[in-house]
Structure 1
Amino acid sequence: MNTEDPTNGNEESQPLIHHGRTRENSVASIFARGRSNTINGLKTGYDTVKRHRVQFMYAVMATALLYLGFTLAFLPRTSLSRDFRRLHFSKLTKAETYRIYLESLQRENHAQQHLRTYTSHRHLTGDEDALQYTVDELKALGFSLKLEKYYPWLNTPVDTGMSLVIGGNTVFESEMMEDFVAEDPSSSGPHPVRAFHGYSANGNVTASFVYCGYGKSEDYDLLKDHGIDLKGKVHIIRYDSMFRGLKVKNAEAHGASAVILYTDTFDDGNVTEANGYKAYPHGPARNPSGFQRGSVEYFTEFPGDPTTPGYASKSPNTKRTSPMGKIPTIPSIPMSQRDIAKLLPHLNNKGIAFDVGGNVKGFEYFSGPSDPDVQVRVFNQQEYKIKEITDVIAEIPGILGGSTIIIGNHRDSWTVGGAGDPNSGSSILLEVARGLSELVSKGWRPLRTIQLVSWDGEEPAMLGSTEYGENHASRLQKQVLTYFNLDTAISGSQFKCEANPLLSELLRKSAASTRFSGKPDDTLLDVWESQSQGHVGILGSGTDFAVFQNHLGIPSANFKFVADGRDDAVYQYHTNYDTYTWMEKYGDPGYHLHNTMAIFTGMAVLQLSENEVVNFSVHDYIKDIGRYYETWYEMLNQTFTGNEFMQEKARNLSTLITHIVNHESLAFDHQTASLRKLVVRDYPWYKIHNKISIYINLTKLNAKLKRLDRLFLTDRGLKDRDWMKHAIFGPDKLLGYKGDVLPGLHEAVLGGSSQETLEWLHLLHKQMRLVKELLAS
């Protein structure tokens, strides 16, 4: 059978036959062919992509545009307010923020635990135990802390004494200490504090004595008019609302060799033993053995370390100046009503009788002086040295940079107790911190930075806050929006609020959001209005807001519950009976007022922090300035009758203020209200330019509001107290604690100085012009 030849007879084309693997099927040849095929494939693929890349790019772009269009078509409308939180990954809405804060404090109340711990031992300035407790509690809440140390010059007590000496013989000697009462454990505990005055001069004086009433200027004028011999005598003065340091200053100016300050229960109002009430601990009246300790440094003129005026004592080696002119040069001591009753009856029928009487047994309120052989010995020994103090600062960073809200309270006390002053506020500060910590744990970030500060050394002279303010003055003026102060926060049932009028409306809104004392149907605003028609008082001095409002021009507020003078128990101020036992029996049984104040404080902070537009009321501020100015304007016209040039200047300023009240301030607040609505209005994505415009206006307006109060600062300060820089607010020069409005002008008119009055009219006119330009720009 014939078979077809596959080679077609071409023998040379036939392959050689080998036994085993052929060369073409070797491993090397397989890899070589694979590499060649891969390269060829890549080249082919590249050529294909190259030929179709335009079509490919179009396809990608079309897909992206389709996706973007689909996304934008269903993108929700948003407001600038919500955008702030989304962009910064804040997980809570404004409403949720308020709700969680309120629920956290309504659910629990730790104020009793805090108060009992703070008041279980003596904690004078620089105390380590109170510092450690504050640090531990804040750290347990998750806060990272900054501890700032300062080194002021101040005194600690060594020994004090008062003796009645008749004919050269000592017939009575005060123990300089309250009675121990078994019903009050902390008042009878170890390490009690002997009665003394902060920054009192050392001395040992034995001399005749004279009763000088309240030690006010009018009291001394009365004594001088009747020829009462004051020089070289020990001046006995009763406490009242006037700052004790100014009482000692007045006495020294009138020739006193020493001063004794005592508490007369007549000034306690209705609740006194004389009116049938029992004394503490058996009743609500004042215990007559109580000594009101306190500072006599002139801190209503120059607070802080008297050896570093205007700058911080940042180290033990800080350069220092003489404290002369800022502290007394004569010794002073506090005294109880019971012990002063051993002296004062010796003045009966000597000198003149004062119109205002009192409750000192056997005393008919004559001035004296005492007979030459009836004398009092005043002994005061204090150790003065540089002492370390520590401020504790906790911070929650905000979304919007450059704005900070500070809540502050001091923790140092004069005694073992200090339940009302200051540790009711210390407890509330920690409760506010707990509520804010709860928010942070749930992913909240405030719009504005919030700081909680525990000051040290307030009692001697607002040392911690003043040194801090002087140390960081420039930064604080740039960043801090407002300062809220908690001092002696709970000592009665009457709500009292003092604040820069810029904050008035904010505080009322916060009070409306605060349930009062756990009662579901009553708000704090309801109680506030029923008690005082919602009155907002004027800030003076005497506590930690002074450096912020009076020196740096930072709008401040100070709020508290105080005794009403009618039905409330008498607050045992700065005595050894200001204890948690008194607080739980009379001051705030159940700690409901502590809880109310913690909620109110936190809500005020959140209302200011969580609203994009700063909640300041410019109209309220300028209106208050105008109201007080009209009073001084009338006084000026009466004082400088016939001075046409003076009266024209005063009239021009009156016209300017009235114009700002009726035009610029109203227009600015209207602009603020309009912007507040725009910030929360929702816009579609394609109107992003609207949001940008709103944001620019928001930034400008908030900057104006922050700057406003700084415009009232002066380089010159007030006369004879140039640390007080604010032209609108300052402490009353004669009373100290009480506030004065337009104090520089007021003092110039009272003093009858045409030159100073003209200077203040010129300065205030310049400041009000700047305010007008700021609001209108």
Structure 2
Amino acid sequence: MQSQLLPLSDMPEKLPLLPHSGRSSRSTHAAKALLVMASALILAGIVMVLCQCWSDLDHFDEPEKQQFDALSLFLGIPSAERLRDNLWYYTSGTHVAGINRTQAVYTRDYFRNQGISADIVEYYPWLNYPVDQRVALFNATTSEVLFEAGLKEDVIPGDPASSDPNNLPAFHGYSADGNVTGQLVYANYGSVDDFKALKAAGISVKDKIVLVRYGNLFRGLKVHGAELEGARGVLIYSDPAEDGYVQGSVYPEGPWRPESSFQRGSVQRMTVYPGDPLTPGYAATEDAPRLDPSKATNINHIPSLPLSHRDAEPLLRALKGQGKQASEVGDNWVGGLTSKGVEYWTGPSELNVNLLNKVEYKTMPIQNVIAKIPGQKHSEEAVIIGNHRDAWCAGASDPASGSAAMLEVARSFGELLKQGWQPRRTIILASWDAEEYFAVGSTEWGEDKSDWIRENVVAYLNLDGGVRGHNIQFKATPNLRPLIYDVTKRVKHPHSNKSVYDMWYERENSVQKTHRKSHKPHVGPLGSGSDYTVFLNHLGVSSVDFKFDGGSGVYHSNYDSFKWMTDFVDPDFSYHCAITQIWGALTITLADAPVLPFDVHEYAKDLHKYIDELKTRITSSSRINHTVAKRALRQLYKAADKLGTSARHIEAERRHLQKKYGERCSMIGHHRLTVCSDIRSSINSRLYKLERDFIDPMGLPGRKWYRHVLVSPGKWLGYGSQTLPALTEAVEEGDWKRFKALAKRTSEIINRAAWSLREA
């Protein structure tokens, strides 16, 4: 039976606004009592009673008092030892989506043990699992098999994760079932430009098996690009130039990918829509109507498999002398196997390749764990923090480092609750399932609860693989950038006397060789690639995604293990502590701030940059319509200016509130308190709902699920962010009629957002 979602079924209704004038019935009774008592009391007694009357009035709408410093207390709670224990538990075995309910129950019970209500919420998406695989190189004339790929990763002595009997073979989530044969063609990274370069060189991939390497592009788009060119199947291998021995010592001697290792992952066409392929735009509940799989537009239709570079090497050698040398086709077409004497040629090969990818598709229950800490004063407003729990393997960095941090955030919040802390706003902690298939658990929940999310969610804070290295990295909506800077200044960087912010600042300035005092660390725009996708791109919720990143070669392999993490990345769990502190501090600040720490002016500044980037694309276009482009850019810049003006307007309102009342509305007097509360509520609502105003209900052309007009995953970028996506794609396709209409609509949407900021 499907679990019922606790946080939404029990969500408090929006609190009624207090009246601007007049007394409650309670106040009226108190006043009458005072009149009766006045005749019998001396002046001192009257004064005492009147004071009590004021106390009764204040109790009706009690002035806010400064709470204890929850943020400072929180920063001292996270424990490296507990984080180590959490990571050990989550990496104790392979936990693929749909078959990891035990960890869902553990996570739910952990939340509950901290005094936080929690429930499991199930959905029923369509998932695939591996049954049989084969990659063989053979002579079509004699049927002699010359090479058969192992398609398994070696066991590493001393690392139990590498010998787990439940480890998956070579496999792609949402790959097509198939058994195909054809000549081999090497297509570099498998990008649109790579396929164009092959075509220009006279090399066709039609009816071929295409070999591409990982890197530069989301794997699902590599398969899609090959399918569009008529290929029969795709093999994606991990070249040592990307994350293997070319980069340094390989596991277990170093952190990089060893020769037998391959990268699992989803090949869903996530730039069309994420989540369950059969329920686009609505939740995959147990009894939901479902598309016929042939009509699902976010999955590919040719089989694919990942390969290690050990398995790819014989295939590349079989191409030697056939077709053209890869270096003649394009720059950066040669990988790192040259050190082993491999020459990179395009083919097609004389020998044939058989690719078998037998998978079983079935509707499977997945488990999101949703926990709730009710807010005290504005419980209808909510901050959501999320991390996914499922992994292709043990998943120490991705996602268990984030899962370990989530449990420690929950424990730390539980300690604060014991000390009397009550957050102003509701906090939701979400442990998602099936992210690896591509954000399935979060997408289904977001689609299911879309109305509540649009109305009430202030922000979404995502931590996926929290610790992969030692360099902090943030992506976020522009309005949250100053908050990120403030929080990272409060958290100590591991093995340093400096803050995370200071180390971040120094590293980026060193790389960019600039010493401008005004320079601040880069916070990039959000594209896609994790569970924030539904919140930002579909529903318009301001979001953050962050991690300690760095070079490694164990991504989505059996070697992303507890041993790898403790040997090469975070042996003392100080980076886990720091990422936990950052996550919790962001949450507490957003949950407790009387006025939300959103800086709308940052959005206005970035919007001008987005338009500048669009202008550059237009200028470089070979099919430019100058008249349409000039008028459109003028419209967009004018709209951006209005947004900037409105940003200054709401900042002035915030300053007025602070000067006249104080953000906590901590004055005596019912009327002034009510006026202050109303003003503050209005400011907050407009601040967090600005993101909603950038949502176009019609969606982006050709991919209606994505609705944010300012940012989305690029159509051919995958995870990468594309600013002003609909307009950019129209320019790239030379469709100036569409561009003109979209420029008008986008300008109107930005203008609407600007006016919404000013409508108190």
Instruction: Report the TM-score when normalising by structure 1.
Output: 0.86
Preserved CA contact (<8 Å) 1:486 1:559: yes
Residue 212 of structure 2 aligns to a residue in which SS?
strand
Q: Aligned to 1:412, which of 361, 365, 390?
A: 390
Preserved CA contact (<8 Å) 1:637 1:647: no
User: Is residue 2:636 matched to residue 1:653?
Assistant: yes
After alignment, is 227-236 or 281-290 more displaced? 281-290
1:343-362 matched pairs, under 5 angstroms:
343-352=315-324, 353-354=326-327, 355-356=331-332, 357-360=334-337, 361-362=340-341
Letter in 2 for 1:345: R
Cα deviation, 1:200-237, whole Å, max 9, x if unaligned, reads 11111222100000000110111001110211110001
Match in the other structure for 1:243: 218
Q: CA RMSD in A?
A: 2.5
Match in the other structure for 1:544: 531
1:692-707 matched pairs, under 5 angstroms:
692-707=674-689
* Unaligned residue ranges in structure 2 (runs of 5+): 1-34, 509-519
Match in the other structure for 2:90: 118
Residue 473 of structure 2 aligns to a residue in which SS?
strand
1:524-563 matched pairs, under 5 angstroms:
524-532=500-508, 533-563=520-550
Q: Aligned to 2:49, which of 62, 65, 68?
A: 68
After alignment, is 170-179 or 54-63 more displaced? 54-63
Q: Aligned to 2:102, which of 113, 129, 132?
A: 129
User: Is residue 2:329 matched to residue 1:328?
Assistant: no
User: Is residue 2:282 matched to residue 1:302?
Assistant: no
Preserved CA contact (<8 Å) 1:238 1:262: yes
Match in the other structure for 2:172: 197
- Following the alignment from structure 1 to structure 2, what is the Cα–Cα distance between the partners of residues 321 and 474? 27
Residue 209 of structure 1 aligns to a residue in which SS?
strand
1:19-58 matched pairs, under 5 angstroms:
58=39
Match in the other structure for 2:473: 496
Q: Aligned to 1:365, which of 344, 349, 354?
A: 344
Cα deviation, 1:126-180, whole Å, max 9, x if unaligned, reads 2122212212221221222122110011111111121121341112222211000
Preserved CA contact (<8 Å) 2:687 2:757: no
Q: Aligned to 2:671, which of 672, 689, 707?
A: 689
Match in the other structure for 2:121: 148
Which has the larger Rg?
Answer: 1
Residue 461 of structure 1 aligns to a residue in which SS?
coil
1:391-470 matched pairs, under 5 angstroms:
391-399=368-376, 400-415=378-393, 417-470=394-447
Residue 524 of structure 2 aligns to a residue in which SS?
coil
Residue 576 of structure 2 aligns to a residue in which SS?
helix
Cα deviation, 1:187-211, whole Å, max 9, x if unaligned, reads 1233221110011111112221000
1:245-324 matched pairs, under 5 angstroms:
245-268=220-243, 272-274=244-246, 277-316=248-287, 318-322=289-293, 323-324=295-296
- Following the alignment from structure 2 to structure 1, what is the Cα–Cα distance between the partners of residues 193 and 593? 49
Preserved CA contact (<8 Å) 1:310 1:723: yes
Preserved CA contact (<8 Å) 2:70 2:416: yes
Deviation at 1:730, TM superposition (A): 0.2
Q: Relative to structure 1, is the Cα distance of residues 81 and 249 closer, same or farther in structure 2, using a 3 angstrom cutoff?
A: farther
User: Is residue 2:133 matched to residue 1:160?
Assistant: yes
Match in the other structure for 1:768: 750
Match in the other structure for 1:34: none
Cα deviation, 1:680-729, whole Å, max 9, x if unaligned, reads 47989665433322211101111111221111111221122111011011
User: Is residue 2:715 matched to residue 1:733?
Assistant: yes
Match in the other structure for 1:100: 73
- Following the alignment from structure 2 to structure 1, what is the Cα–Cα distance between the partners of residues 611 and 666? 49
Deviation at 1:267, TM superposition (A): 1.9
- Following the alignment from structure 1 to structure 2, what is the Cα–Cα distance between the partners of residues 255 and 163? 21
Letter in 1 for 2:720: K
Match in the other structure for 2:358: 381
Q: Aligned to 2:559, which of 563, 577, 596?
A: 577
Match in the other structure for 1:46: none
- Following the alignment from structure 2 to structure 1, what is the Cα–Cα distance between the partners of residues 402 and 41? 64
After alignment, is 159-168 or 576-585 more displaced? 159-168
Residue 516 of structure 1 aligns to a residue in which SS?
coil
- Following the alignment from structure 1 to structure 2, what is the Cα–Cα distance between the partners of residues 263 and 486? 25
Q: Relative to structure 1, is the Cα distance of residues 103 and 172 closer, same or farther in structure 2, using a 3 angstrom cutoff?
A: same
After alignment, is 350-359 or 404-413 more displaced? 350-359
Q: Relative to structure 1, is the Cα distance of residues 169 and 765 closer, same or farther in structure 2, using a 3 angstrom cutoff?
A: same
Match in the other structure for 2:459: 482
Preserved CA contact (<8 Å) 2:611 2:633: no
Deviation at 1:95, TM superposition (A): 4.6
Match in the other structure for 2:728: 746
Preserved CA contact (<8 Å) 2:642 2:751: no
After alignment, is 443-452 or 190-199 more displaced? 190-199
Letter in 2 for 1:58: S
Q: Aligned to 2:578, which of 557, 581, 596?
A: 596
Q: Relative to structure 1, is the Cα distance of residues 65 and 79 closer, same or farther in structure 2, using a 3 angstrom cutoff?
A: closer
Aligned residues: 701
Preserved CA contact (<8 Å) 1:235 1:251: yes
- Following the alignment from structure 1 to structure 2, what is the Cα–Cα distance between the partners of residues 311 and 691? 42
User: Is residue 2:691 matched to residue 1:719?
Assistant: no
Letter in 1 for 2:87: L
Residue 314 of structure 2 aligns to a residue in which SS?
coil
Preserved CA contact (<8 Å) 1:407 1:453: yes
- Following the alignment from structure 1 to structure 2, what is the Cα–Cα distance between the partners of residues 721 and 682? 44
Deviation at 1:670, TM superposition (A): 3.7
Preserved CA contact (<8 Å) 1:302 1:721: yes
- Following the alignment from structure 1 to structure 2, what is the Cα–Cα distance between the partners of residues 56 and 347? 103
- Following the alignment from structure 2 to structure 1, what is the Cα–Cα distance between the partners of residues 71 and 203? 63
Match in the other structure for 2:64: 84
Letter in 2 for 1:403: E
* Unaligned residue ranges in structure 1 (runs of 5+): 1-53, 86-92
User: Is residue 2:607 matched to residue 1:625?
Assistant: yes
Letter in 1 for 2:387: N
Deviation at 1:508, TM superposition (A): 1.0
Instruction: Report the TM-score when normalising by structure 2.
Output: 0.88
Cα deviation, 1:622-660, whole Å, max 9, x if unaligned, reads 110111112213433564656435422321321331343
Letter in 2 for 1:542: G
Residue 379 of structure 1 aligns to a residue in which SS?
strand
Residue 402 of structure 1 aligns to a residue in which SS?
strand
Deviation at 1:384, TM superposition (A): 0.6
Match in the other structure for 1:187: 162
Preserved CA contact (<8 Å) 1:409 1:454: yes
- Following the alignment from structure 1 to structure 2, what is the Cα–Cα distance between the partners of residues 281 and 351? 38
Cα deviation, 1:318-365, whole Å, max 9, x if unaligned, reads 443434322111110000011100110111222222332212233222
Deviation at 1:775, TM superposition (A): 2.7
- Following the alignment from structure 1 to structure 2, what is the Cα–Cα distance between the partners of residues 683 and 471? 36
After alignment, is 325-334 or 313-322 more displaced? 313-322
Letter in 1 for 2:504: W
Q: Relative to structure 1, is the Cα distance of residues 571 and 688 closer, same or farther in structure 2, using a 3 angstrom cutoff?
A: farther
Letter in 2 for 1:302: Y
Match in the other structure for 1:20: none
Cα deviation, 1:441-498, whole Å, max 9, x if unaligned, reads 1111100000000001111121110000111111110010110111111111111100
